[in-house]
């Protein structure tokens, strides 16, 4: 399968590794129970690549694609995230992913959906040390509750391997609107409902 369409311009920074590590803490804000990785060769292995920055060189846990070189991650967060940086680390071989396509707030995407226009496409370079930082568009990724990462191709191998995905940004708790209203109506007061037809005056709630 030709892979030439996967190579192009690179957009990344070489940052100070020590400072970088402190900022890459969004792995702790991922809803791991609901994280999905499609086309992983070993069930559940996709979750293992979201780990502390100091474990990024750990080669014992990684995800490898199964049927072809594509991998698709559906990543729900436990709140809202302003995404500021991404690191993708693999081995220094052709199994390293060559491109990353990002989709914002589109839960449960499948490979049938990847023909959609991505919110951002990033050309990747081989990074076995976990030190190349890619910058998401700040305006686009300023309020992310769900991030989809699609790796469509690698540098020419039959399968893709990823050892570490780092996410940097700011996290704020999510607001779950409507929960209290639902609980109200779950236990209606019948007397209130009977009197509704008498109450046509607009109420001003203080």
Mean pLDDT computed over 101-106: 98
User: What is the rounded average pLDDT of the residues 74-95?
Assistant: 97
Predicted confidence (pLDDT) at residue 70 exceeds the cutoff of 70? yes
pTM of this structure = 0.79
pLDDT digits (tens, 9 = 90+) for 34-47: 999 999 999 999 99
- State the average pLDDT over residues 39-57: 96
pLDDT at 164 over 90: yes
Res 142 pLDDT > 50: yes
Q: What three-state secondary structure class fits 164?
A: strand
Q: Is the pLDDT of residue 4 over 70?
A: no
Distance CA 176, CA 178 (A): 7
* Domains within the chain, CATH numbers bracketed: 4-174 (2.60.120.470)
Model confidence band, residue 203 (pLDDT cutoffs 50, 70, 90): very low
Q: Is the dihedral of CA 156, 160, 165, 171 positive or negative?
A: positive
User: In this predicted structure, which of 10-24, 104-118, 181-195 has the lowest mean pLDDT?
Assistant: 181-195
Rounded CA-CA distance 193/41 in Å is: 56
Residue 85 pLDDT > 90? yes
Q: From CA 163, how far away is CA 128, in angstroms rounded?
A: 9
130 pLDDT higher than 50: yes
Q: How many angstroms from the chain centroid is the CA of residue 195?
A: 50
Q: What is the DSSP letter of 30?
A: B
Q: Pick 194 or 142 by higher pLDDT.
A: 142
Helix (H) / strand (E) element for 191: namely helix 190-194
What is the token pair recorded at 34?
């609901």
Residue in this structure with the two tokens 């998401």, named with its chain if needed: 136
| Amino acid 187: pLDDT | 53
Q: CB–CB of 124/88 below 8 Å? A: yes
As given in the structure block, the two tokens for residue 92 are 């220094």
């Amino acid at each position: 399968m030709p892979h030439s369409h996967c190579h192009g311009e690179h957009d990344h920074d070489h940052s100070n590794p020590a400072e970088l590590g402190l900022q890459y803490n969004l792995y702790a804000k991922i809803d791991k129970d609901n994280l999905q990785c499609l086309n992983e060769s070993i069930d559940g292995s996709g979750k293992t690549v979201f780990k502390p920055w100091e474990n990024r060189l750990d080669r014992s846990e990684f995800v490898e694609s199964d049927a072809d070189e594509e991998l698709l991650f559906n990543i729900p967060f436990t709140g809202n995230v302003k995404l500021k940086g991404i690191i993708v680390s693999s081995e220094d071989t052709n199994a390293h992913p060559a491109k990353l396509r990002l989709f914002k707030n589109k839960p449960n995407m499948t490979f049938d959906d990847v023909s959609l226009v991505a919110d951002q496409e990033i050309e990747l370079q081989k990074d076995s040390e976990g030190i190349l930082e890619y910058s998401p568009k700040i305006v686009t990724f300023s309020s992310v509750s769900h991030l989809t990462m699609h790796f469509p191709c690698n540098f020419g191998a039959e399968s893709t391997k990823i050892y570490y995905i780092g996410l940097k940004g700011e996290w704020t708790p999510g607001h779950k609107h409507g929960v209290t209203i639902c609980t109200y109506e779950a236990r209606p007061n019948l007397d209130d409902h009977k009197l509704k037809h008498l109450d046509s005056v607009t109420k001003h709630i203080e």
